[in-house]
Amino acid sequence: MLVVMYNDASEKQIERVLEISEDLGYTAIPNPGARRMVINITGDVDLSNVSRLEGLAGVMKVIPVSKAYRLADIEVKSEPTVIEVGDIEIGGKKPVIIAGPCSVESYDQLLETAVAVKDCGCDILRGGAFKPRTSPYSFQGLGVEGLRILKDARQKTGLPIISEAVDIESFPAVEDAVDIIQIGARNMQNYSLLKRAGRSLKPVLLKRGISATLSELLSAAEYIMAEGNSNIILCERGIRTQNNHTRFTLDLSSIPVLRSMTHLPLFVDPSHAAGKRDIVIPLARAGLAVGSDGLIIEAHPRPDEALVDGSQSLTVEMLHDFMESCRNSGYWQNGLEVKPGVIS
């Protein structure tokens, strides 16, 4: 890291920085500039020491050069991570589409959706059994019963299933039932949950928190990876901005930027960003156009009756038409080798 001193920093203040850096086990090399002193600090730098140095008298700023994440870093592994779920490759050439209702509401609702999701040509079935709701009085999901219904749907359709683990207590039940464990936006910085997911053998779809930077998202992934699980899919699902015309703002630029930062597969969730079903499909297309490895989309056979997120759930017909238009595009036929921007 670099410690930049104020231009009027005294010799004594500079000495103190050198002394503390060396006490921390680093090598500190002073580089006097025309206007100010910059101290170059090398060694196995622990980023938690940044604030210690930043607090010293005479220090203007500390610029960390090493990153808070290592295992997720593209500099450590340049080939893309491909996650196999049955015979589906996530992060391979073909975009993978996950679809299904926001929440599992009943056996009939989920089975009907699962059959439609399969008929539309989607790859994986989603459905929340445990729902993280803003209000404690809102429907919280069917819990373990919802997981049982999801497992039935997998058995009847052959579709792998994904569902969210909202806390440590419910984690083992979710882990046992699903093919992919979802960690939601609200839990992106729930470190004990991330560590627990890191000890799982199942892949994890990790959503970006609504105010998280990309490096915070990668640090969250790092928590999972540091425990031994490197099968992580990162998911852009919209962040909070001053925009009040959609539920969240889909940060499409995060996909190509993350691509340059990490080897992990990248997904887009157009549904939670849009909040309204008419906006979901344009955002889904945009998500593919910026190079995501797949989408997670909410769909419901009767969105008007949905207990959660009905307004953003596609009808089965909409999902069908979207998938049909994808299949007809050269992009789909040739996979991600075709440059983004060619989806009609």
Spell 168-196 as b/e; 16+ CB within 10 A means b.
eebbebbbebbbbbbbbbebbbbeebbeb
User: Closer to Mn ion at the Cβ: 265 or 303?
Assistant: 303
Closest CB 312 distance from Mn ion, rounded Å: 7
Closest CB 131 distance from ligand PEP, rounded Å: 7
With CB under 5 to 8 Å by kind, the binding choice for 209 among ligand PEP, Mn ion, none is none
Closest CB 72 distance from ligand PEP, rounded Å: 19
User: Closer to Mn ion at the Cβ: 62 or 104?
Assistant: 104
Site residues, ligand PEP (CB under 6 A) = 102, 128, 132, 184-186, 207, 237, 269, 272
DSSP conformational letter for 273? H
**Residues 344 and 332: beta-carbon distance below 8 Å:** no
Element (H, E) at 23: helix 11-23
Spell 244-261 as b/e; 16+ CB within 10 A means b.
eebbbbbbbebbeebbeb
SS3 302: coil
With CB under 5 to 8 Å by kind, the binding choice for 237 among ligand PEP, Mn ion, none is ligand PEP
Q: Find the residue with minimal CB distance to ligand PEP.
A: 184
Alpha-carbon span 246 to 110, nearest angstrom:
27
Site residues, Mn ion (CB under 5 A) = 102, 309
User: Closer to Mn ion at the Cβ: 124 or 225?
Assistant: 124
With CB under 5 to 8 Å by kind, the binding choice for 184 among Mn ion, ligand PEP, none is ligand PEP
DSSP per position, 181-242: EEE-GGGTT-HHHHHHHHT-SS-EEEEPPTT--HHHHHHHHHHHHHTT---EEEEE--B--S
Closest CB 318 distance from Mn ion, rounded Å: 16
User: Closer to Mn ion at the Cβ: 222 or 309?
Assistant: 309
Closest CB 198 distance from ligand PEP, rounded Å: 19
Closest CB 233 distance from ligand PEP, rounded Å: 13
User: Closer to Mn ion at the Cβ: 39 or 147?
Assistant: 147
User: Closer to ligand PEP at the Cβ: 138 or 334?
Assistant: 138
**Residues 131 and 104: beta-carbon distance below 8 Å:** no
**What angle separates helix 107-119 from helix 316-328, to the nearest 10 degrees?**
20
